[in-house]
């Protein structure tokens, strides 16, 4: 079963008098429980593709289906509900709430979902333990290193048991060791929990971990390779 299907996706922006295509007839499908890297140089369209898959942006044309739902046919309210219940996001800039502790940041999505306070606390503590932050529940983002903040972001993305996690350049601000540790963590969660991961990246380390590598150039698929087990 495919978790994601994108058919003939086009997205353009106006820059002065010039129309620039971020995506130009791009089509991809991603199987359930896959571990996929979208690679390519800056401006190739990979982040735009992630935003469209996540319902944060909409294509000019083409069809996008995620977890059996066609995004083009959904209202903004329905898209918001789907993002809350089905999609986890890991942003390059972490996007943690600065006034909240690590524990509270991880609990936040579950709070929006209406999960009870006791269950929120138990699940948040368990996932922070899993990502190696057992003794840092009450630290705010400013009291955490970049790698620790990214681990909180990953914990927040997966604690609500999403069907798919979209990670935009997750290792961009990390040293090699921290980035490697983070990828091992996400790979284990992919294998143990069956969560589909899609990364946008130009990091060779991420590409090496990916089960499938899709290279995007000039808004189109230039290369699509599935690694043999």
- Domain of 199, CATH number, reads 3.40.50.300
How do residues 8-59 score in pLDDT, each as one tens digit? Answer: 999 998 888 888 888 999 999 999 999 999 998 887 888 899 999 999 999 9
From residue 24, how far is each of 60, 69, 89, 213 by CA, in Å? 10, 23, 24, 19
Paired sense of beta strands 220-226 and 61-66, if any: unpaired
Domain count, the chain: 1
Alpha helices in the chain (DSSP H): 46-53, 76-86, 102-113, 117-130, 146-158, 176-193, 204-209
User: What is the pTM (predicted TM-score) of this model?
Assistant: 0.89
Distance CA 150, CA 182 (A): 8
Distance CA 159, CA 157 (A): 6
pLDDT the model gives residue 229 = 60
Q: Can you give the residue range of the structural domain that contains 121?
A: 2-226
């Amino acid at each position: 079963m495919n978790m994601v299907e994108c058919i003939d996706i086009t997205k353009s922006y106006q820059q002065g008098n010039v129309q620039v295509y971020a995506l130009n007839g791009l089509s991809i499908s991603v199987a359930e429980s896959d571990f996929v890297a979208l690679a390519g140089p800056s401006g190739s369209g990979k982040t735009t593709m992630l935003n469209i898959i996540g319902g944060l942006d909409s294509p000019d044309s083409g069809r996008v289906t995620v977890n059996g739902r066609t995004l083009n046919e959904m209202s903004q309210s329905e898209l918001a509900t789907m993002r809350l219940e089905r999609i986890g996001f890991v942003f390059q800039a972490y996007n943690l709430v600065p006034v909240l502790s690590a524990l509270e940041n991880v609990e936040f999505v579950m709070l929006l979902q209406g999960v009870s306070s006791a269950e929120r606390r138990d699940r948040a503590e368990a996932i922070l333990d899993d990502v190696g932050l057992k003794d840092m529940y009450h630290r705010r983002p400013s009291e955490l290193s970049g790698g620790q903040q990214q681990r909180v972001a990953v914990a927040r993305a997966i604690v609500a048991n999403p069907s798919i996690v979209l990670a935009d350049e997750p290792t961009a601000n990390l040293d090699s060791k921290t980035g490697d540790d983070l990828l091992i963590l996400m790979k284990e969660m992919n294998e143990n929990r069956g969560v589909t991961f899609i990364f946008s990246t130009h990091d060779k380390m991420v590409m090496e971990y990916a089960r499938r590598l899709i290279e995007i150039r000039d808004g189109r698929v230039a290369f699509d390779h599935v690694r043999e087990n």
